[in-house]
């Protein structure tokens, strides 16, 4: 039975330490230290005072029962307020966690929808750009196929125009060796100029009215028309892709999906955009 007054038990540091057999001095000191810590945590578990014991102790100290009861009520009130405060903090934390989870779920859902939409939009536009670019290459190849015929007719008709033939051969070689991009476009432009100069010289010669020369001129004009048309379609496809890639949130999703920020359009001077006329 607990006494009417609180008297703390002596700790192990206050009691006489008994030697421990089978342990070194360092091990024994560590055991004593741990025992003291354990006892300090549990020293008051069996010494809690009942209300009667509190009343008797208060009376000995000259404290009235009314003052004691008021102090107990205030202490209980403070304890309840502390509990309510902790519950409120826990509830706020739970609410914040729930909101974060909901926000994360909504963000993930919107991101998924955005990524799916961007993949569909950019994928379609990129495919159109690549398709029209391939078609430009096809019509350019058709124009390249005219070069052997132009060279053969020039050799037969303009024996003193070796410089034109060499210029045409050099321009054709430059196109074949040029990398894709601005260098390729510049090489194609020079090749077109070399072919035009050669055909103009053929038309100005005595054989200008021959069927062979006229067929080459017709084929060249048709080729240039097709090239101009395909380049316009390519530029339109590029413009559509660039507009789609620049809009938010597609622009944000584009970087995550690995699509290009933009494609370059085919640029040419106003004169170069006109179909050559061979007369």
pLDDT tens by residue, 115-139 = 777 888 888 888 999 899 888 888 8
Report the distance separating Cα 222 and Cα 255, nearest Å: 41
What pLDDT shows up at residue 197? 85
What is 152-204 written as a DSSP string?
Answer: HHHHHH-TT-HHHHHHHHHHHHHHHHPPTTHHHHHHHHHHHHHHHHHHHHHHH
Q: Which of 278, 220, 255, 254 is nearest to 122 (CA)?
A: 254
Tell me the pLDDT band of 271, cut-offs 50, 70 and 90: very low
Look at the chain and count its residues. 279
Q: Which of 232, 261, 225 is nearest to 245 (CA)?
A: 261
Contacts of 140 (CB under 8 A, 6+ apart): 188, 227
pLDDT tens by residue, 33-88 = 777 777 665 554 555 667 777 677 767 777 777 777 777 788 888 888 889 989 88
Hey, where are the domains in the chain? 10-49, 117-273
Tell me the pLDDT band of 12, cut-offs 50, 70 and 90: very low
């Amino acid at each position: 039975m607990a006494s009417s007054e609180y008297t703390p038990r002596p700790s192990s540091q206050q009691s006489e330490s008994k030697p421990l057999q089978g342990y070194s001095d360092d091990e024994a000191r560590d055991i004593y230290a741990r025992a003291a810590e354990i006892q300090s945590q549990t020293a008051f578990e069996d010494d809690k005072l009942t209300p009667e014991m509190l009343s008797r102790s208060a009376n000995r100290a000259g404290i009235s029962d009314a003052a004691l009861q008021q102090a107990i009520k205030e202490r209980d009130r403070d304890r309840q307020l502390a509990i309510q405060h902790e519950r409120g903090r826990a509830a706020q934390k739970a609410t914040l966690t729930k909101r974060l989870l909901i926000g994360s779920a909504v963000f993930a859902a919107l991101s998924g929808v955005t990524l799916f939409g961007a993949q569909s939009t950019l994928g379609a536009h990129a495919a159109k750009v690549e398709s029209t670019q391939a078609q430009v290459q096809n019509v350019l190849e058709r124009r390249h196929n005219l070069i052997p015929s132009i060279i053969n007719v020039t050799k037969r008709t303009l024996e003193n125009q070796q410089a034109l033939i060499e210029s045409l051969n050099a321009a054709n070689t430059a196109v074949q060796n040029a990398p894709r991009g601005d260098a390729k476009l510049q090489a194609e432009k020079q090749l077109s100029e070399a072919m035009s100069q050669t055909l103009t010289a053929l038309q100005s010669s005595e054989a200008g009215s021959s069927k062979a020369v006229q067929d080459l001129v017709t084929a060249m004009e048709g080729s240039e028309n097709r090239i101009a048309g395909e380049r316009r379609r390519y530029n339109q496809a590029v413009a559509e892709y660039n507009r789609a890639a620049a809009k938010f949130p597609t622009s944000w999703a584009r970087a995550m999906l690995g699509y290009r920020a933009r494609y370059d359009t085919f640029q040419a001077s106003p004169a170069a955009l006109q179909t050559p006329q061979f007369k």
